[in-house]
Structure 1
Amino acid sequence: MDKLSTKHFMFFIFGTSIVTLKTYPSLLIQSGGRETWVIFILASILLFFYYISIINTCKRLNIYDITEIYRKALGKYLGVFFISFFYFNIFLSVVESSALEANSMHTNMFIETPIWYLQLLFIVPAIYTLTKNLNAIKICSLIGLIFIFLAGINLSILSAKYKQYKLLFPIFPEGINISHITTLIKVLGGYGSIAISLPYLKFINDKTHLKKHSIIAVIIVIQMEIVSIMGVISSFGDARASTIFYPKLIQTQLINYFGFLESGEFFVMLQMVGGWFVKYIMSFYILLLFLREIFIDYKNSIVYIVSTIVFALSFLVAKNNLVLFKNLNYYLYISFFNYILIPLIIVAIVRLRALNQPNK
């Protein structure tokens, strides 16, 4: 049966939000500098209130369909217009997942393996999962994320002795500037992928503990991201970290115990490939549900059509690192508007209308 519990939903929050900022923090350190970790803390606080305010609004209105909330706030036609931007951003997240998985593995692990080949190894297995039902997405995500968490804990322990926390200080010696503000927006844009979990709210069977489990999940996501960015800066310093495409993959190469234990790359590779695969299928599945409402006669054909488009677009941006990271910079700004700012405005409109309605 295609239903979720609130505990399952926690994993959908993990799967959509964790991997983005952990994969390319160098893009944020370039503009945020040494203080990027402080900006992460501020962005994390804002993210917490953003997500919980949306959950509170859904519970108050007893509406758990994000499309319906948009229509309630803006009307039928304007609501559909703006929700289309939301789902377009989900499509960009699907392209991002495919491009970054292939490019990160090609850049750091399999430099002689063509990017298109790595993409096929990623997209083709995903097609099989996506042609099934929600249970297939749920099972793949649960198994994948459990292994990812175990790998993350292992990496934290193994890499602890290589971190120099003095590299995190001093903070803001020259005050706050415009680069810090733009970094905050980009961090929120990276965090914004958590909004992909919102369309899954309608599949939750018993929503009694939705807020409680959502709070726990968001707090776990926040602490993972803050620990991750602090670990990167304390391992390399901000100047060096900002020049590395995928610093987490390089960071694990430091690990060496007893002269032979050097398995850090395996754990972070598991995190990268598994994390992007989970985000890919979660994003793709919810995009498919939206497309099937429009092209109802095509059913599973949409999976193959969209997968082909994603393969072509992700290959174009992933084949060159500089092009990819330039587009990722734009992607973070777009995500900030479509995943964070516009949903907040929608929620504010709905809440104001609910307050202005006379009690019956």
Structure 2
Amino acid sequence: MFNSKHLMFIIAGLTIVSVKTYPAVFTRLAGRDTWLAVAVAMLLILVYISYLIWVCRKKNCYSMAHIYRYTLGPVLGNAMLSLFMLSVLLHLLESAAVESSAMHEQFLLNIPPTAFMAVLMTVGLYIATLGYQAVITTTIIHIAGIATSGMGLFILVAKYKNYDYIFPIMADGVTGDFAQAVLKLTGVYGSIAIILPFLSRVSDKANILKYTVLGTLFVAQNQVVSMIGTIATFSLPWLNAMFYPKLLQTQLVSHFDFMEAGELFVMYQIVGGWLMKYILCFFAAIILVRLLGKPKEYFFWVLSGIIFFAAKYLANNIFMMFDALDYFAYISIVNLIVIPVIIYTIFLFKDSCAIPKRDNSVCRR
């Protein structure tokens, strides 16, 4: 069983790395005000996830599978669970493709993306299949390491920032591009919904809402500070021309004309961050697949193979991959935000639940 405090680390592992890796996708829309778009999107996500957990607490039921089936019936409920599962698989695809592309494009051009992909997916599959103790231990270690690395990097690049680049603030008001940036950011941060399959396995459910809010606020401040730092380092024309600006930002670090190790910090954040997200998403996929049926022993290896070839296809063409990331964001909005809100709202007005044992929930009258 998980502890409610573990949710803070799980939320960080699911939501931190994406926008940090490819912020230019959003700065091309919102410009110097992207940090404000991040703040608005994180506020929406905080309200969203707090509402879902409030519904669970109100109904005293934390089983996602039961909520879907009880609200929609077994057939449609399983169909909606399958759509949720689809978004989890897309986040697995994102993790494998973006991490391998970033490492190949910015650091080791002579090593093909498939090499990075194979290592990440093999390690991720191994840890995810070991069970919740291995998953949460790995997540806590990596979050602690990434937080420490982030603070060190913040200090090292401070002298290279020019905060004049973030002014004037909202000079053009709320534009269509700004609203689109908020929408896409909300979709990317919608990966926070992947904690829903974990909730029935949390031992002290009374504190779930508290630590979910704390975890979301931690991510929010991290993302806003990171986005401000990225914009303050590069002028917008340069920033918008980069695929992975964070990886270039660290190359500015130099001390005594020979010490240049800024890349080590961000390499750890990128590799560790995407590995962490892959493990958590794969573990969520294991939970969902077992709720939908009884998979064969080799099922998850076959699933990994499909993800590998799909990620290889995307990572080999960086322009196509970034186009795909737009679609991923919009799919996440529907599958991870809109549909769960509708289902949980209907469930809120349903009668008290009577749960079948197969859903493995904690749902009491």
SS in 1 for 2:342: helix
Q: Which moved more, 1:67-76 or 1:31-40?
A: 67-76
Q: Conserved in 2, the CA contact under 8 Å of 1:13 and 1:218? A: yes
Residue 178 of structure 1: CA displacement? 1.6
Question: 2:124 & 2:43 partners in 1: Cα distance?
Answer: 34
Which residue pairs with 2:3 in the alignment?
5
Which residue pairs with 1:73 in the alignment?
71
| 1:256-295 equivalent positions in 2, closer than 5 A | 256-294=254-292
Indicate which of 31, 36, 41 corresponds to 1:43.
41
Which residue pairs with 1:344 in the alignment?
341
Q: Conserved in 2, the CA contact under 8 Å of 1:131 and 1:303? A: no
| 1:176-191 equivalent positions in 2, closer than 5 A | 176-191=174-189
Is 2:104 aligned against 1:106? yes
Indicate which of 126, 129, 138 corresponds to 1:128.
126
Once the two structures are superposed, what CA deviation does each residue of 1:223-275 show, in whole Å capped at 9, x if it has no partner? Answer: 00111111111111222211110111011111122323321110111000001
Which residue pairs with 2:210 in the alignment?
212
Q: Which moved more, 1:5-14 or 1:174-183?
A: 174-183
Residue 21 of structure 1: CA displacement? 1.2
Which residue pairs with 2:197 in the alignment?
199
| 1:299-314 equivalent positions in 2, closer than 5 A | 299=297, 301-314=298-311
Which residue pairs with 2:312 in the alignment?
315
Unaligned 5+ segments in structure 1 are none
Once the two structures are superposed, what CA deviation does each residue of 1:126-175 show, in whole Å capped at 9, x if it has no partner? Answer: 23213312111111111122111111111111111211111111123233
Moved over 3 A (4+): 292-295, 352-355
Indicate which of 159, 162, 173 corresponds to 1:161.
159
Residue 295 of structure 1: CA displacement? 5.0
SS in 1 for 2:130: coil
Q: Conserved in 2, the CA contact under 8 Å of 1:292 and 1:298? A: no
TM-score normalised to the size of structure 1? 0.94
Q: Conserved in 1, the CA contact under 8 Å of 2:166 and 2:228? A: yes
Amino acid at match of 1:91: L
Unaligned 5+ segments in structure 2 are 353-364
Indicate which of 223, 236, 240 corresponds to 1:238.
236
Amino acid at match of 1:351: L
Is 2:40 aligned against 1:59? no
Q: Which moved more, 1:306-315 or 1:133-142?
A: 133-142
Indicate which of 331, 336, 341 corresponds to 1:334.
331
TM-score normalised to the size of structure 2? 0.93
Q: How many residues align?
A: 353
Question: 1:236 & 1:330 partners in 2: Cα distance?
Answer: 27
Amino acid at match of 1:319: N
Indicate which of 10, 19, 22 corresponds to 1:21.
19
Question: 1:274 & 1:118 partners in 2: Cα distance?
Answer: 12
Residue 104 of structure 1: CA displacement? 0.4
Residue identity over aligned pairs, in percent, reads 35
Q: Conserved in 2, the CA contact under 8 Å of 1:168 and 1:237? A: no
SS in 2 for 1:209: helix
